[in-house]
């Protein structure tokens, strides 16, 4: 696991109500059974943890932890 994926898994843990083992391939919404508002709340935590901006527009193409890690890494470099 990359460092970003590890950090995302840790950030995701408080939203993991059903005890799923979280990894890079975890689908954030369907595997953890969390609704759209909760996904946005999680992304807000990610934004603040990495001090980056993740517009809601990119979320429609971001399903797994690995997808989100790519977004985070691209935006961390940019900043």
Taking the least distance from each CB to another protein, the nearer of 7 and 29 is 29
DSSP one-letter string for the chain: --HHHHHHHHHHGGG-TT-PPP-TT-BTTTTTT--HHHHHHHHHHHHHHHT----GGGGGG--BHHHHHHHHHHHHHH-
**Least Å from the CB of residue 1 to another protein:** 27
**Least Å from the CB of residue 78 to another protein:** 8
Taking the least distance from each CB to another protein, the nearer of 3 and 51 is 51
Residues in contact with another protein by the rule CB under 8 A: 35-38, 40-41, 44, 47, 51-53, 55-57, 79
């Amino acid at each position: 696991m990359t460092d970003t994926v590890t950090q995302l898994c840790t950030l995701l843990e408080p939203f993991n109500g059903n005890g799923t083992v979280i990894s890079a391939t975890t689908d954030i919404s369907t595997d953890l059974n969390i609704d759209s508002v909760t996904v946005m709340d999680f992304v807000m935590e990610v934004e603040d943890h990495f001090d980056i901006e993740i517009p809601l527009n990119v979320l429609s193409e971001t399903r797994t932890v690995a997808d989100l890690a790519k977004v985070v890494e691209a935006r961390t470099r940019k900043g």
